Structure 1
Amino acid sequence: MTEQQGLKRRLKFIHVFILGLALLTPTTVFDTFGIASLATGGHVPLVYMFAMVAILFTVFSYVHMVKAFPSAGSAYTYVQRTFHPNLGFMVGWSALCDYLFLPMLYALAIKIYMAAYFPGVPAWLWVIIPIVVISVANLFNVKVAVSLSAVFVFAQILITIIFVALLIKGLASSSEMGSIFSLQPLFSANLTLTGVLAGVTILAYSYIGFDAISTLAEETINPTKTVPRVMIALALYIGITYTAVTYFMQVGYPDASVFIDPESAAAEIAPQIGGMLFASVFLVVIILCNISGGISAQLSISRLLYAMGRDNVIPRRIFAYVTPRSRVPIYNIIISGLVAMTAVFFDLVTAASFISFGAFTAFTFVNLSVIVFYYVRNKKRSLKETFMYLVSPLIGIGFLIIMWFSMDLRALILGICWNAAGFIFLLYITKMFKIPAPMFNFDEEEIPANENEGEEVLQA
């Protein structure tokens, strides 16, 4: 099987949705509740609703661009086709520090939990073992990864339902039922704009990763319809679910100062509402969720490397190769697994810093791509189109500017260093800008037979 034969289209809406949900890891809501509650003054569900609205503007921009370019390259392809191959390369390089470090982030999260419960075991084992499991799962047919992710996603949904049910039971038995349905988590006298913006900066991380499913466009049936629907569905599902879950958590624990460690607030709540048995089950599910997220994250980075390898930005013989039987980019999976194993030298904060910088860079340029591709180049300027292709992405950029200014200084420094290395590599492959960076060859065989490029692609 050569790289020209490409990836096989086999994923339907439910497959892509499950992979996206696994990547976003719904139980992230438990990880961020404590610190978000402190930052927002006890208004986490309100801020989740605000964050959902904010991120939806960027989601819509991805929707527009995937309709125009249903390829595996995501933001990398959109920018190089809309602006210039060189800029597309730099955005793709920046996005690499998002995708490439995502599997590492899940492994580090597992290490934190397991090292605390089994201090006698070398901590590096809790990084190596999950990454091996994740990589082996992705070496099979892509539907195997979907099947594993489906099991883990079901476990996350089930444990979340039980968690909320136990919270409601505890609230009902210890107070008046009327207190369960309170406006306090949504509005109170100490609600401030500063607190809302601080909370949005924290909770926006819960949505990072939705864009990764656009890298599965070349393995998705009818991608210009399926992928956009999945993106919107994911953002709405996460936003609505997180709002509901944190509403009951906030009602039960309105003051985050009661927690010994706000970062592990859920771990303190679990034994209080369900005893040690439930707390143990809760821990197991959290581990499984991180493995599931790692599978989806590595699946996405392997497809982004495939797109860049096919463009010959990086060696095509290695990165654009797919196996004859399972038709997966096996070398990319192995390489990304080896990179993820360097997590033994990192901490969770450092890895998260890389991810935030890469994600916000990609988000910003995708919004700009919508404006240039649709509003400027294709002159889509009716009243409706002006809002869709100019106003909406500008609002998305506005929210991202807030997040940029709120970003940790270390994240900015690490991101700048990463991009500096990418710029040096760009100088090399373009012979000091004498030639443009290799460009994605968007030919007919990469567009589904039942999709038309042109007016249908340019419709919302």
Structure 2
Amino acid sequence: MEESRAVTATNPQANTLKRSLGLWDLILYGIIVIQPTAPMPAFGVFSNGGKGHVVTSILIAMIAMVFTAMSYGRMARVYPSAGSAYTYVGRELHPALGYVTGWSMTMDYMLNPLICTIWCAHTMADMIPGIPLGWVLWTFFFAILFTGLNLRGIQTSARINQILCAIMAVVIAAFFVATVRYIFHLGSYPSGYFTHPFFNPDTFSVKTVFHGTSLAVLTYIGFDGISTLSEEVENPRRNIFLATVLVCVITGALAAAEVYGAQLLRYDWHFEASEEITAFAHVAAIAGGAKLANAIGITLLIATIGSGMGAQLGAARLLYGMGRSEALPKKFFGAIHPKTRIPANNVLLVGGIALVGAFLMNYDRGAELLNFGALLAFMGVNLAALTHYFLRDTAEPFLKRFVVHFLPSALGFVICLAIWLNLTHKALLLGAVWMVVGIAYGAVRTKFFRAELVNFDIPSEE
């Protein structure tokens, strides 16, 4: 016992996580989480939403995400082990606002597996036509598949994720090669052929572009996960900040190039509802034929299956964390299956919501509602960073604080707010209902926020 105490005394880091991740490890992690094919599944949705201004929408979203990423990186310096928007907001602004941010995040977690279920079902129905009510059968299949695999505790390893990322890179490269070859062999180009993906005077309006941007934000969802690795990173004060920003820039540049190529292949921006979800694969077929279209379709399907499984388990874990801390009824939400050590009740609940929700809303609405909660969280993080570094930390000169801390956070907040306000009225209404329910529940639990609010941190796996 004395020897053990001596070891602990001389090595205070014996019980801490090993700091072994460098900057490029973080960047690779962020790219894998977001996926290099991020804009492809929703390309048709983005194009219809922004009336063809997909590239512009993705670039505007990138600007908002870069400023927000800077705020995330700075807040990770203050709370290096928390790594979540609701913690930043709750500690810097007010516990009640942290609760509201946490509640908005639950909507993201719950809707992610739902839209993955919708996308996979419609893609399979498109790939294997002729089955009566095929998308209905595939919806049941994928909802049950995600739930069943998560109940068995099956997880995708980091090695498999890296292999998938490499496969995606090959498919993306093949798409670019086929696209360039096709464009060079066209011979003549319509007026505005190369510029309409950025600006089409026939369909352009600020409202239209920002509505498209409110959907295009989906491309970047997941970048904030980098901040959760703060305890395992070499020089986290520098590397978390740089990695979060660089991942957003790399994702934005690659996404813009992918959709630009797709828009050059198909000059008409409008997609019918039946082809909206599988639009990118159909467009790729123009340049690369059925082989490239099938390669893209299968790659995106596999990636979305992995994403749907991970999203469902992530939602279940978040609900478990809320249940364990008694933000939700602990007996149901805080229960762990004795054999698999999985929050089975939550997995079943999220699977049920994904199944039912897939029949009640389309992909567009699910994506908008997901972004409703995400953008609220992003605005909260920007305000938290502004409060901490500009208002509270007054050691640095005012001008430096204004330029380095106030402007990026304020711009991030304003652009995210502008994007959020351009969600459809129905999405804003449904999101508002969700928020009112959560606020009302929190008010009852805390006697109108007079009692101490719970901690939403998800417990680490042992």
Return the TM-score normalized by structure 1: 0.79
1:89 counterpart residue number: 99
**Does residue 412 of the first structure (1) align with residue 424 of the second (2)?**
no
Give the 5 Å matches for 1:68-147: 68-72=78-82, 74-116=84-126, 117-118=128-129, 119-120=131-132, 123-134=135-146, 136=149, 140=153, 144-147=156-159
CA deviation digits over 1:103-132, x for unaligned, max 9?
111111111112333433654442344345
Taking the aligned partners of 1:224 and 1:145, their CA distance within structure 2 comes to: 28
> Following TM superposition, by how much is the alpha carbon of 1:77 offset from its aligned partner in structure 2, in angstroms?
0.9
2:295 partner amino acid: V
Taking the aligned partners of 2:356 and 2:414, their CA distance within structure 1 comes to: 35
Q: Judge conservation of contact 1:302–1:329 (CA < 8 Å) in 2.
A: yes
Mean CA deviation greater in 192-201 or 431-440: 192-201
Q: Quote the sequence identity (%).
A: 27
Give the 5 Å matches for 1:132-171: 132-134=144-146, 136=149, 140=153, 144-171=156-183
> Following TM superposition, by how much is the alpha carbon of 1:243 offset from its aligned partner in structure 2, in angstroms?
2.1
Give the 5 Å matches for 1:169-318: 169-175=181-187, 185=197, 194=206, 196-214=209-227, 216-217=228-229, 220-221=232-233, 227-256=240-269, 263=276, 264-305=278-319, 307-309=321-323, 311-314=325-328
Taking the aligned partners of 1:138 and 1:237, their CA distance within structure 2 comes to: 35
Taking the aligned partners of 2:239 and 2:347, their CA distance within structure 1 comes to: 25
- Alignment RMSD: 4.0
Q: Judge conservation of contact 2:38–2:255 (CA < 8 Å) in 1.
A: no
Give 5+ residue unaligned stretches, structure 1: 1-5, 447-460
Give the 5 Å matches for 1:291-440: 291-305=305-319, 307-309=321-323, 311-314=325-328, 333=347, 335-347=349-361, 348-379=363-394, 381-382=396-397, 383-439=399-455
Secondary structure of the residue aligned to 2:40 is helix
Mean CA deviation greater in 133-142 or 156-165: 133-142
Q: Judge conservation of contact 1:11–1:221 (CA < 8 Å) in 2.
A: yes
> Following TM superposition, by how much is the alpha carbon of 1:380 offset from its aligned partner in structure 2, in angstroms?
5.2
Q: Judge conservation of contact 1:48–1:242 (CA < 8 Å) in 2.
A: yes
Taking the aligned partners of 1:421 and 1:303, their CA distance within structure 2 comes to: 21
Taking the aligned partners of 2:432 and 2:331, their CA distance within structure 1 comes to: 30
> Following TM superposition, by how much is the alpha carbon of 1:97 offset from its aligned partner in structure 2, in angstroms?
0.5
Q: Judge conservation of contact 2:262–2:284 (CA < 8 Å) in 1.
A: no
1:413 partner amino acid: L
Q: Judge conservation of contact 1:55–1:396 (CA < 8 Å) in 2.
A: yes
1:353 partner amino acid: E
Taking the aligned partners of 1:155 and 1:355, their CA distance within structure 2 comes to: 27
1:64 partner amino acid: R
Taking the aligned partners of 2:353 and 2:323, their CA distance within structure 1 comes to: 17
Q: Judge conservation of contact 1:134–1:295 (CA < 8 Å) in 2.
A: yes
| Residue-pair matches, total | 436
Mean CA deviation greater in 338-347 or 420-429: 338-347
Give 5+ residue unaligned stretches, structure 2: 1-14
1:146 partner amino acid: A
Secondary structure of the residue aligned to 2:449 is coil
> Following TM superposition, by how much is the alpha carbon of 1:302 offset from its aligned partner in structure 2, in angstroms?
4.4
Taking the aligned partners of 1:289 and 1:346, their CA distance within structure 2 comes to: 24
CA deviation digits over 1:437-457, x for unaligned, max 9?
124799xx99xxxxxxxxxxx
Residues 198 and 123 of structure 1: CA distance in aligned 2, closer, same or farther (over 3 Å):
closer
Give the 5 Å matches for 1:15-30: 17=27, 20-30=30-40
1:60 counterpart residue number: 70
1:394 partner amino acid: A
> Following TM superposition, by how much is the alpha carbon of 1:99 offset from its aligned partner in structure 2, in angstroms?
1.6
> Following TM superposition, by how much is the alpha carbon of 1:371 offset from its aligned partner in structure 2, in angstroms?
1.5
Taking the aligned partners of 2:331 and 2:273, their CA distance within structure 1 comes to: 53
Taking the aligned partners of 2:341 and 2:121, their CA distance within structure 1 comes to: 32
Taking the aligned partners of 2:272 and 2:366, their CA distance within structure 1 comes to: 25
Taking the aligned partners of 2:20 and 2:117, their CA distance within structure 1 comes to: 26
